[in-house]
């Protein structure tokens, strides 16, 4: 990336950081980011997204933004989670290259130049690999290793560390990708559909200095459900009828089996069970029918429609820059946020 390429509305780099109760790490994090990107000779911005913190995280970020025109702050009215916070930052970012990272100082902002160097080789996405991860073995490292193996097998995108938040994206690749639940970790798999070039580099990882992790084993079930969604998207995005037909086949076979069992039961000693068996068979038959109808509707939407999921920046309550002060980024956004509270 060469300096001086940006215009009035587009910058070279946007560094996006979701924050939740990070008052102790906020200032050293901000200083580390400025130190890392400030000397690169590129036009940059830092986008802090306060995910409904209950401490003074937002107030501190606001004060920093009033002194530094490079810093922009987004505030959620309540805690929505890491992925919506990241999505809001991506939606509002103005850089051609977007860097995402955690706000707990475990990711090292000093690694950002390594991502930019790799992007210069022509890659669209560069993923960080915490090869010497400083987390608990049982609750963090082992589940992560299993999840990464499973994600690679299901999606066909062999990333060693999908959960590492330190990533770099070309804006024209990541903007518009629908993010919800825990989907941020599946961005490489989703963008692989468009032929995005993906690389992975080793990054430093530090032990957490302040507080405790906001995420634990409780989100594993979300990841598994999201993985099923991603498998559907990756394998059957252009063939929804085929996917629903695959799901309908077992239900249809079970329905036929139960109905035949019920029919033969009329002429045997188990005739008294024929009615409930037949009823169950009808239910499975109905399930198969509705699955096929769902596939047909999905096929129709894909062939004739332009389905776009809502932008998660609608969760934004306030959007701050030094010039704007405490101003809502969009009046509709504020109204939608109030409805979500």
- All structural domains of the chain with their residue ranges: 11-235+310-340, 238-301
Q: Once rounded to an integer, what is the mean pLDDT over residues 31-40?
A: 95
68 is written with which tokens?
Answer: 């530094």
Distance CA 289, CA 282 (A): 10
* Strands 95-100 vs 11-19: parallel, antiparallel or unpaired: parallel
- The tokens 């309908």 sit on which residue? 248
Q: Which of 174, 214, 208 is nearest to 52 (CA)?
A: 214
Helices within the chain (DSSP H only): 23-37, 57-67, 82-92, 112-119, 142-155, 171-174, 187-191, 220-236, 240-265, 274-304, 331-340
336 is written with which tokens?
Answer: 């939608």
What angle is formed at CA 111 by the lines to CA 105 and CA 117, rounded to 5 degrees? 155
* 249-305 pLDDT tens trace: 999 999 999 888 888 877 666 566 777 888 898 999 999 999 888 878 877 766 665
Distance CA 47, CA 128 (A): 19
* 307 phi, psi to nearest 5 deg: -80, 120
The pLDDT of residue 176: 74
Can you give the pTM of this predicted structure?
Answer: 0.69
* Strands 71-76 vs 11-19: parallel, antiparallel or unpaired: unpaired
What angle is formed at CA 180 by the lines to CA 178 and CA 181, rounded to 5 degrees? 150
CB atoms under 10 Å from CB of 139, counted, come to 12
* 203-221 pLDDT tens trace: 998 887 776 665 555 566 6
First to last CA, the chain: 41
The pLDDT of residue 199: 93
Which residues contact residue 161 at a Cβ distance below 8 angstroms, ignoring those fewer than 6 apart?
A: 127, 128, 129, 130, 133, 144, 148, 200
- The tokens 């306030």 sit on which residue? 318
* 130-172 pLDDT tens trace: 988 877 766 667 777 787 788 777 777 888 888 889 999 999 9
CATH superfamily of 11-235+310-340: Spore Coat Polysaccharide Biosynthesis Protein SpsA; Chain A (3.90.550.10)
pLDDT band at 81; cut points 50, 70, 90: confident
Q: Is the pLDDT of residue 33 over 80?
A: yes
Handedness of CA 104, 110, 113, 115 (dihedral sign): negative
Q: Which of 225, 95, 278, 114 is nearest to 169 (CA)?
A: 95
Residue pair 70/46 in contact by the 8 Å Cβ criterion: yes
């Amino acid at each position: 990336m060469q300096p001086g390429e940006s215009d009035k509305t587009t910058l070279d780099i946007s560094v996006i950081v979701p924050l939740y109760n990070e008052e102790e790490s906020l200032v050293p994090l901000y200083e580390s980011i400025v130190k890392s990107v400030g000397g690169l000779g590129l036009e940059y911005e830092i986008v802090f997204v306060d995910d409904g913190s209950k401490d003074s995280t937002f107030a501190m970020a606001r004060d920093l933004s009033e002194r530094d025109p490079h810093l922009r702050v987004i505030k959620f009215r309540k805690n929505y989670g890491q992925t919506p916070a990241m999505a809001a930052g991506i939606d509002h970012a103005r850089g051609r290259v977007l860097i995402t990272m955690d706000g707990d100082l475990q990711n090292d902002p000093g690694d950002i130049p390594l991502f930019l160097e790799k992007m210069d080789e022509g890659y669209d996405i560069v993923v960080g690999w915490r090869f010497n991860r400083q987390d608990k073995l049982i609750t963090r490292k082992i589940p992560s290793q299993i999840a990464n193996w499973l994600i690679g097998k299901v999606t066909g995108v062999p990333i060693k560390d999908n959960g590492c938040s330190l990533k770099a994206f070309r804006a024209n690749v990541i903007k518009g990708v629908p993010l919800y639940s825990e989907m941020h970790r599946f961005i490489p798999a989703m963008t692989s559909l468009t032929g995005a070039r993906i690389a992975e580099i080793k990054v430093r990882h530090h032990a957490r200095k302040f507080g405790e992790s906001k995420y634990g084993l409780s989100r594993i079930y979300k990841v598994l459900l999201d993985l099923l969604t991603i498998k559907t998207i990756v394998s059957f995005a252009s063939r929804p009828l085929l996917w629903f037909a695959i799901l309908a086949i077992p239900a249809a076979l079970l329905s036929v089996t139960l109905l035949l069992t019920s029919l033969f039961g009329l002429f045997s000693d188990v005739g008294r069970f024929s009615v409930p068996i037949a009823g169950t068979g009808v239910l499975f038959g109905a399930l198969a029918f509705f699955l096929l109808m769902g596939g047909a509707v999905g096929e129709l939407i894909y062939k004739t429609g332009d389905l776009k999921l809502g932008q998660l920046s609608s969760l934004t309550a306030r959007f701050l820059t030094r010039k704007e002060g405490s101003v809502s980024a969009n009046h509709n956004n504020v109204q939608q946020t109030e409805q979500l509270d």
